[in-house]
Chain A
Amino acid sequence: EAGVAQSPRYKIIEKRQSVAFWCNPISGHATLYWYQQILGQGPKLLIQFQNNGVVDDSQLPKDRFSAERLKGVDSTLKIQPAKLEDSAVYLCASSFSGIEQFFGPGTRLTVL
């Protein structure tokens, strides 16, 4: 069974530029999560989707971050404009039952 796929794996941008990350969950997993992991910290949930609906986006900085999951399968997370403090690893995870989450390899973002 294929795991959670993410791209790109690495991205370097200048502050105030925009960037987008892509995630393809495990087939059949209705729930998809985006986490932000700043160096030295544990992952923090940004947004959770159930199919193509948002369940929790309470910690998403909505003035600059947006996410969508149009067909209830893959998802895109966008940052526009990026700030220095957005430098982090962005992890995507998916779940079938809600009991266990499976994580992708992450996208490491560096904002200069």
Chain B
Amino acid sequence: KQEVTQIPAALSVPEGENLVLNCSFTDSAIYNLQWFRQDPGKGLTSLLLIQSSQREQTSGRLNASLDKSSGRSTLYIAASQPGDSATYLCAVRRGVTGGGNKLTFGTGTQLKVEL
């Protein structure tokens, strides 16, 4: 059974700091990994999706890396801003057909960026 862990559970940083969020998973047989952002009372917004054959993906100030063999992914946020405050969730997908394309989520990292 796939288990996804995110460390730290909560993080508070001053504005402008670069930061790294960690995600680990127990079963390396994944199809892809996805990072989401969740604002209080809102649904999930997809940030980055990395296919199992890729090493990293970038979007603006966000960079996600994937080391499938060691079961790890990191989300790097450069020059953090108060608007980045949210909960960040990573999720892995085993396949794309049938029940394999369900997402298994971590418990999230709650980020607060302070002025």
The answer to whether the Cβ of A100 comes within 8 Å of any Cβ in the partner chain is yes
B46 touches A102 (CB 8 A): yes
The residue in chain A whose Cβ has the minimal distance to the Cβ of B89 is A42
A105–B41 Cα distance when bound, in Å, is 8
B96 touches A103 (CB 8 A): no
A58–B98 Cα distance when bound, in Å, is 13
A40 touches B107 (CB 8 A): yes
A45–B44 Cα distance when bound, in Å, is 14
Interface size class of chain B, counting residues whose CB lies under 8 Å from the partner chain: 20 to 34
Shortest CB–CB separation between residue A42 and chain B, in angstroms? 3
Which one of A45, A91, A99, A104 contacts B102 once the chains associate, using CB atoms below 8 Å?
A: A45
Q: A residues 42-89 with Cβ under 8 Å of B? A: 42-45, 48, 50, 55-56, 58
Shortest CB–CB separation between residue B42 and chain A, in angstroms? 6
A42–B109 Cα distance when bound, in Å, is 10
Contact digits for B53-76, partner A, Cβ 8 Å, 1 yes 0 no: 000000000000000000000000
Contacts of A97 in B (CB 8 A): 96
* Residues of A near any B CB (own CB < 8 A): 4, 31, 33, 40-45, 48, 50, 55-56, 58, 91, 93, 95, 97-106, 108
